[in-house]
A = this chain, B = another copy of it.
Amino acid sequence: MRKTLADWRPAIDDAIADLVPREIDTDYLESFFGDPTYEYDPDGIQRALSNPIWDLLDRGGKRWRAVLFLVFIEGFGEDPAEYLPYACIPEILHNGTIIVDDVEDGAAIRRGEPALHHGYGQDVALNAGNAMYFLPLKVLADDPADLPADRRLAAYEMLTYELNRTHLGQGMDICWHNESEVRATPEQYLEMCACKTGCLGRIVARLAAIIADQPPEVEEAVARYAELTAVAFQIGDDILDVENSLGRAGDFGKEFGNDIHEGKTTLLVIHAMQQSDSEQAKRLQEILNADSNTDAEVREALEIIEETGSLASARERALDLAAQARAEIEPLEFDDETGRKLREFTEFVIDRDE
């Protein structure tokens, strides 16, 4: 019987532990990083890499990127169990970006606990996050699946391409965040999501396609599926933040109006600025720019977003993107179970409460 999505998690964590063990010793360091010229300090590496990385991973996370990779591998007719080390590539990359993003955003909390730079110091957290950009690429050189050279080269080139776009997207997001006026167009917002979040999805899909030796049109179709799903998911996140804050699914509290407090430029904010009268727009901008906001001010901003129909519009956009994602994979004629699992990912976009 084929595994369900959640069944994979323990095996994925075991594969991650093969790359970054929970306990660091000299044998691991020599086998993974090569012989030292002089002498390694395994205790230091324990504290600088393994501890922060496993702290974050053990806080949860569903390993969706690794699971989606394995779904594709299976859909392409290969045995997912043979490709577990490769499934770690997007998963470790993703968790690395989380650590770095939290430093960049000055985030306080991650998965219910202090963000890593609070517990470990900014220096350790950042270096661990950045190390996670390169640690998993070692899998391609180790080549446990004995891939031919052209596929390994294609994987490196794909990763370079997508990771460049990731930093482009993060650059756009940060830049808007620091500006005193909402300037981005809805299309630029979608591009930011496509780059920042979508590229990790594209890595998942393209890596599976490259490894399973799929033709370019299949690689591009699954990449678009993953990108569209990721963009829809990001918009879903922005919607949830507003909906929960409006009290429909939550209450006042720590999570109340997160995105408003942060002054984030979301698709909802862009839409609300365009659709509101000039006085409302000015007020929304003021609240977004303020260093701190009262609950009443946050509610005022949320109400402008709601009154301008921005929630409904964003929801429609997210559902449309999810439908586009499903349309991308339809012609690929995956088996029924793979098709069902891939559709499930796109349906999760809006229909969730966390």
Contacts and interface: CB of A to CB of B under 8 A. Distances in A.
A161 to B, nearest CB: 7
B37 A190 contact: yes
A194 B39 CA distance: 10
Contacts of A250: none
Contacts of A100: 126, 130
Contacts of A47: 175
A191 B39 CA distance: 6
A170 interface: yes
A167 B38 contact: no
Nearest to A139: B160
A127 B104 contact: yes
A126 B167 CA distance: 10
B37 A175 contact: no
Range of interface residues on A (Cβ < 8 Å): 35 or more
A128 interface: yes
B124 A48 contact: no
A17 interface: no
A313 interface: no
A336 to B, nearest CB: 29
Interface stretch (A176-184, A210-218, A268-276, A326-334): A176-184
Contacts of A176: 41, 44
A281 interface: no
A140 B160 contact: yes
A287 interface: no
A283 interface: no
Interface in A2-56: 29, 32-34, 36-41, 43-45, 47-49
A130 B127 contact: no
A344 interface: no
A175 B130 contact: no
A101 to B, nearest CB: 9
A103 B126 contact: yes
Contact of A174 (B37, B123, B185): B123
Given A130-B100, A149-B149, A153-B153, A40 B188 contact: yes
Contacts of A111: none
A71 B342 CA distance: 52
Contacts of A198: 37
Best-buried of A37, A128, A131, A152 by chain B (most CB within 10 Å): A37
A284 to B, nearest CB: 20
A175 B41 contact: yes
A5 B286 CA distance: 54
Nearest to A40: B191
Given A161-B141, A190-B38, A191-B37, A134 B44 contact: no
A325 B32 CA distance: 26
A171 interface: yes
Contacts of A121: 174, 178
A58 interface: no
Contact of A49 (B33, B171, B194): B171
Nearest to A198: B37
Interface of A: 29, 32-34, 36-41, 43-45, 47-49, 100, 103-106, 121-124, 126-128, 130-131, 133-135, 137-138, 140-141, 149-150, 152-153, 156-157, 160-161, 163-165, 167-168, 170-172, 174-178, 183-185, 187-188, 190-192, 194, 198, 227
